[in-house]
Structure 1
Amino acid sequence: MRVLLTGAAGSIGRVVTVGLADRGHRVIGLDRVVEPEGFDGPWHSVDCADPDAVASVFEAESPEAVVHLAGHPDEASLPDSLTSHVVTTAALLDAMVENDVQRIVYASSNHAVGRTPRPRDAAAQVGDDLRPRPDTFYGVGKVAAEALLSLYADRYPLDAVSCRIGSFLPQPETTRHLSTWLSHDDCVRMFDAALTAPAPGYAVLYGISANTRRWWDLEPGRRLGYEPVDDAEEFAETVSARSEDEFEAAHVGGPFAGEAFYRPALDRA
């Protein structure tokens, strides 16, 4: 499958481009920066928020699907967050409709539901039927992008999968990560499954590994063929307890749900 992958120079992008290529996909890289050393394939240094530039990439490359990873991975003002996550998604969706591309997989975030209290019952897990509860303007941007994907999946003959990614790291580093970790290999498995699942329509899954202590339900992903293999528990003995652990476990968004991220929505002169 010819896959246009945005944010291809980012931390997730560098892993997924190689992983999807290893699984037989032809990856077309797109990022605002030049291609990383060793990237083997077409590359476009453009801003996803520029609809004309995005349209030109589609015309040049004729992708069959899109993996949308581009976006500022941290908190920003509300307008900046909406541009980074929603406007970029809109530009891609419009180009998809114009070019009859019928699959997009979006790197959403656990912060779309980050204000959800952590389940205290180990048997209770956060599912895909939960109402949006963003913890930051970053989370709001992800919620709004998910809504836009849902709209286009209803309006047009396309499939959209939102992957609410947890903690993407080589290995867990904190107690919270033992619940929220997404390994590099499972990340590739997740995006490959989301690209190839038959007719998902609009769907949400939680981007975590098969963690023994997980807070989020893996069943939405399994319905799409995502079977994670790794478990953060393998690293539990290497993770030291910290004074912040209890606070970070109060909500599923961890520290993003705390007062350190409270700020006005709009920057003023």
Structure 2
Amino acid sequence: MTARILITGAAGVVGTLMRPRLAAENRVLRLLDIAELPAAREGENVELVQASVTDMSAMESAMKDVDAVIHLGGHSLENPWEQILQVNIDGTHNVLEAARRQGIKRVILASSNHAVGYVERATGEAGDYLFPRPDTYYGVSKVALEALGSMYADRYGLDVIAVRIGSCFEKPRDVRMLSTWLSPDDGARLLEACLAVPSPGFRIIWGVSDNDRRWFSLDEAKALGYVSKDNSEAYAAEVLAAQGDIDPESYALKYLGGVWCGPDFDTAVKEAGR
């Protein structure tokens, strides 16, 4: 039996990395983004949909005959409030509501470390269900995403897993990412575990590789069946040689949200002009 998985935000960084890694026999990837998506490669079993998560009608249509949704769509950086509200918060509501209307029972939501960005880094691991302390409007949108996911799980019986992604790139880009990195291969392994686990209900898990310098717990991810095979330490010498050590009291290392907790991301003040 062929399964169809809808991936929103498929043209973004994480979506692009996941596209080849989630390809499998007896699986169709329905890829949705407001941006134009690369054409299907030979032998690639994909369906391309150009639409916005802000369009409820388009989302309902995109979810026809879908078995599960991986919601990566939305602004991935800090933006003015109106844009965050429309795309990240209203867009997530549209995804969940369209899934409910189409009878889809499994939704995986891309949350972020920025939902808890103002939590100071400790020597231990940050827990999976760490109470929200968002660092930006973007972080607030991820708190809202988790709250919406919780409600749709409790009220409508959807299985919803919110993944607080650390930093998902081909390799760590800076010293901080040696602690927060989720390798693309591990990202695919984590999503496969989220798709396969029976009846998870609502969960919040960290999306991170099992790095030697890891800040985040893997307890809930492992409970779902995730096994990390990558470690940022393979890149540590290269990163440290290029950047050197960082002051542990700097924003980059003091808070889970890193430099997003600093003045450069004070969007409200910038919008007000004072």
Query: Would the TM-score normalized by the shorter structure come out above 0.5?
Result: yes
Q: Deviations over 1:35-75 (max 9, x none)?
A: 2144542111011111011112223xx10110001111100
Identity of aligned residues (%): 38
Counterpart in the other structure of 1:105: 108
TM-superposed CA distance for 1:93, in Å, is 1.2
TM-superposed CA distance for 1:245, in Å, is 5.0
Q: Deviations over 1:100-126 (max 9, x none)?
A: 10000011111111111011x2xx110
Answer with 253-262 or 30-39: which moved more.
Answer: 30-39
- Asked if 1:260 corresponds to 2:273, the answer is no
Segments of structure 1 that go 5 or more residues without pairing to the other structure are none
Counterpart in the other structure of 1:54: 59
Counterpart in the other structure of 1:27: 29
Segments of structure 2 that go 5 or more residues without pairing to the other structure are none
Q: Is the 8 A contact 1:175 1:245 kept in 2?
A: no
Structure 1: how far apart are the matches of 2:8 and 2:83?
Answer: 18
Counterpart in the other structure of 1:220: 220
Structure 2: how far apart are the matches of 1:267 and 1:257?
Answer: 17
Counterpart in the other structure of 2:95: 92
Structure 2: how far apart are the matches of 1:110 and 1:71?
Answer: 16
Instruction: In structure 1, give the amino acid aligned to 2:135.
Output: D
Instruction: In structure 2, give the amino acid aligned to 1:183.
Output: S
Match runs of 1:104-253 below 5 Å: 104-119=107-122, 121=123, 124-240=124-240, 241-242=243-244, 245-246=247-248, 247=250, 248-253=252-257
TM-superposed CA distance for 1:267, in Å, is 4.2
Helix, strand or coil at the partner of 1:133: coil
TM-superposed CA distance for 1:78, in Å, is 2.0
TM-superposed CA distance for 1:244, in Å, is 5.1
TM-score scaled to structure 2, two decimals? 0.91
Q: Cα RMSD (Å) of the superposition?
A: 1.8
TM-superposed CA distance for 1:268, in Å, is 6.0
Helix, strand or coil at the partner of 1:189: helix
Structure 2: how far apart are the matches of 1:16 and 1:172?
Answer: 17
Helix, strand or coil at the partner of 2:215: coil
Counterpart in the other structure of 2:13: 11
Helix, strand or coil at the partner of 2:108: strand
Q: Is the 8 A contact 2:182 2:208 kept in 1?
A: yes
Instruction: In structure 1, give the amino acid aligned to 2:165.
Output: I
Instruction: In structure 2, give the amino acid aligned to 1:99.
Output: Q
Helix, strand or coil at the partner of 2:14: helix
Structure 1: how far apart are the matches of 2:7 and 2:140?
Answer: 23
Residue correspondences, number: 264
